[in-house]
A and B are shown apart, each in its own frame.
Chain A
Amino acid sequence: MMEDKRLCYSHLDSIRDTAGKLAGSVTLMEICGGHTNVIMKYGIRKLLPDNVRLISGPGCPVCVASQYDIDCVIELAGRGVPVATYGDMMRVPGSVKSLDGAKAEGGRVFEVYSTTEVIKIREKHPDIIFFGVGFETTSPMSAFLISNDIPVFSVHKLVPPAIKALLAEGAAGITGFIDPGHVSTIIGAKAYRDIKSPQVISGFTPEQVLRSVSILLELIVDCREEVINCYPEAVSEEGNEGALELLASRFKVADSSWRGLGVLPDSGLEVRDEGLDARLIHQDILSGVAEPLKTGCMCGQVLKGLLEPNQCPLYRKECTPTDPKGACMVSEEGGCAIYYRYGK
Chain B
Amino acid sequence: MCYAVPARVLGLSGNDARVDYGGVVKTVNVSLIEDLAVDDYVLVHAGFAIEKLSRKSAEESLALIAQMMWSGKV
Whether the Cβ atoms of A222 and B74 lie closer than 8 Å is yes
Whether the Cβ atoms of B1 and A333 lie closer than 8 Å is yes
Check: A146 CB closer than 8 A to any chain B CB: no
**Known contacts A222-B74, A229-B61, A243-B32; is-contact A138 B1 (Cβ 8 Å):** yes
Q: Provide the residues of chain A in CB contact with B65, threshold 8 Å.
A: 211, 215, 228, 230
**Known contacts A114-B29, A115-B47; is-contact A233 B2 (Cβ 8 Å):** no
Check: B57 CB closer than 8 A to any chain A CB: yes
Whether the Cβ atoms of A182 and B29 lie closer than 8 Å is no
Check: A225 CB closer than 8 A to any chain B CB: no
Whether the Cβ atoms of A233 and B55 lie closer than 8 Å is yes
Contact of B69 among A33, A117, A215, A222 (CB under 8 A): A215
Contact of B1 among A134, A144, A232, A240 (CB under 8 A): A134
Chain B 49-60: CB-based contact to A (< 8 A → 1; otherwise 0): 011011101100
Smallest CB–CB gap between B45 and chain A, Å? 6
Whether the Cβ atoms of B29 and A116 lie closer than 8 Å is yes
Check: B23 CB closer than 8 A to any chain A CB: no
Whether the Cβ atoms of B51 and A134 lie closer than 8 Å is no
**In whole angstroms, what is the CA distance A133 to B46 when docked?**
12
Check: A204 CB closer than 8 A to any chain B CB: yes
Check: B38 CB closer than 8 A to any chain A CB: no
Whether the Cβ atoms of A113 and B47 lie closer than 8 Å is yes
**In whole angstroms, what is the CA distance A94 to B31 when docked?**
35
Q: Provide the residues of chain A in CB contact with B28, threshold 8 Å.
A: 114
Check: A78 CB closer than 8 A to any chain B CB: no
Whether the Cβ atoms of B50 and A144 lie closer than 8 Å is no
Check: A218 CB closer than 8 A to any chain B CB: yes
**Known contacts A214-B69, A218-B74, A219-B74; is-contact A135 B2 (Cβ 8 Å):** yes
Chain B 4-20: CB-based contact to A (< 8 A → 1; otherwise 0): 10000000000000000
Check: A320 CB closer than 8 A to any chain B CB: no
Contact of A183 among B2, B62, B69 (CB under 8 A): B2
Smallest CB–CB gap between A5 and chain B, Å? 16
Residue of A nearest to B31 (CB): A144
Whether the Cβ atoms of A242 and B53 lie closer than 8 Å is no
Contact of A14 among B31, B48, B58, B69 (CB under 8 A): B69
Whether the Cβ atoms of B74 and A88 lie closer than 8 Å is no
Check: A73 CB closer than 8 A to any chain B CB: no
Q: Provide the residues of chain B in CB contact with A185, threshold 8 Å.
A: 4, 43, 50-51
Smallest CB–CB gap between B47 and chain A, Å? 2
For A113, A140, A229, which residue has the most chain B Cβ atoms within 10 angstroms? A140
**In whole angstroms, what is the CA distance A193 to B70 when docked?**
25
Q: Provide the residues of chain B in CB contact with A228, threshold 8 Å.
A: 65, 74
Residue of B nearest to A229 (CB): B61
Q: Provide the residues of chain B in CB contact with A150, threshold 8 Å.
A: none
Q: Provide the residues of chain A in CB contact with B33, threshold 8 Å.
A: 240, 242
Given contacts A114-B48, A234-B51, A242-B32, 6 further A-B contacts (CB under 8 A): A33-B1, A34-B3, A88-B1, A137-B50, A144-B31, A233-B62
A: residues with CB less than 8 A from B are 14, 32-34, 59-62, 86, 88, 113-117, 133-135, 137-138, 140-141, 144, 180-183, 185-186, 204, 211, 214-215, 218-219, 222, 224, 228-230, 232-234, 236, 240, 242-243, 246, 331, 333
- Give me 23 A-to-B residue pairs in the complex whose CB atoms sit less than 8 angstroms apart, sorted by A's number: A14-B69, A32-B2, A33-B1, A34-B2, A34-B3, A86-B1, A114-B29, A114-B48, A115-B46, A115-B48, A141-B47, A144-B31, A182-B50, A185-B4, A215-B69, A224-B74, A232-B62, A233-B54, A234-B51, A234-B53, A234-B58, A240-B50, A242-B32
